[in-house]
A = this chain, B = another copy of it.
Amino acid sequence: MALSFEKITAAEREGFYKTLYHRRDTRREFLNDPVDDEVLIRILDAAHHAPSVGFMQPWDFIIVRDSAIRQQIKDAFETAHKEAAEMFDEERRAQYQNFKLEGIMEAPLGIVITCDRQRTGSVVIGRTANPEMDLYSAVCAVQNLWLSARAENLGVGWVSIIHHQSLKEILGIPEQIVPIAYLCVGHVSHFHEKPELEKAGWLPRMPIDQLIHRDQW
């Protein structure tokens, strides 16, 4: 009808949904094969086209290939992982400790996504009532990257069991920059049919109709 309406066709939509539903959090299945730089730039560019509040594009991307640096990150994970185990009650602690929760050394590279909260100055369209909006924009970039990696048949695992201060020290991230995610990225032997925590019986998938409200909570 109008000039620049680019319709997504049924076949394109199917490709989109197949990608979305087959995305997984990868930990154990990484192969050591290198990731083509061209593919890497494609998934970073997809991240760069996430929505951002006031078009501030607050993200940066650090590609971590050096294995000595990744070993330092792995050590920082181990520290946070041990602290975390102490927080679970005894019953769940053993199960927690048995989960494989990262693939920092197995994946050939890590990607850190950060948020520069001052990128375009202190007043940003859309960040006035809700100052967290720039952080949320950077999270949208994570999800764009994750999905596009799946479209490229690459696995991604978000390592959240790490203190961001450790990441900042290891990678020389400036004080005012906020790390959002450390992502392990690489080719994989396979993708799981279901999320691993679901398969392990840690928690079930919630029925969606329990989550939908109409007009009022």
- Whether A105 is near chain B, meaning CB under 8 Å from some CB there, is no
Chain B residue nearest to A206 in the complex (CB):
B57
Say which residue of B5, B13, B96, B217 sits within 8 Å of A125 (CB atoms): B96
Instruction: Give per-residue flags for A46-68: 1 if the beta carbon is below 8 A from chain B beta carbons, else 0.
Output: 10111101111101111111100
Size of A's binding interface in residues, CB under 8 A:
113
Within 8 A of B (CB), among A159-217: 160-164, 171-174, 177, 180-181, 188-193, 195, 197-198, 202-203, 205-206, 208, 211-217
Instruction: Give per-residue flags for A1-30: 1 if the beta carbon is below 8 A from chain B beta carbons, else 0.
Output: 111111111011111111111110100010
In the docked arrangement, what's the CA distance between A161 and B8, Å? 30
Q: What chain B residues lie within 8 Å of A206 (beta carbons)? A: 48, 57
The 6 closest A-B pairs by CB, nearest first: A15-B15, A12-B15, A2-B190, A84-B128, A55-B197, A139-B139
Q: A8-B150, A62-B214, A172-B217 are in contact. List 12 more A-B contacts (CB 8 A).
A: A5-B188, A12-B15, A13-B19, A20-B46, A44-B212, A48-B208, A63-B215, A101-B125, A127-B160, A128-B161, A135-B136, A171-B215
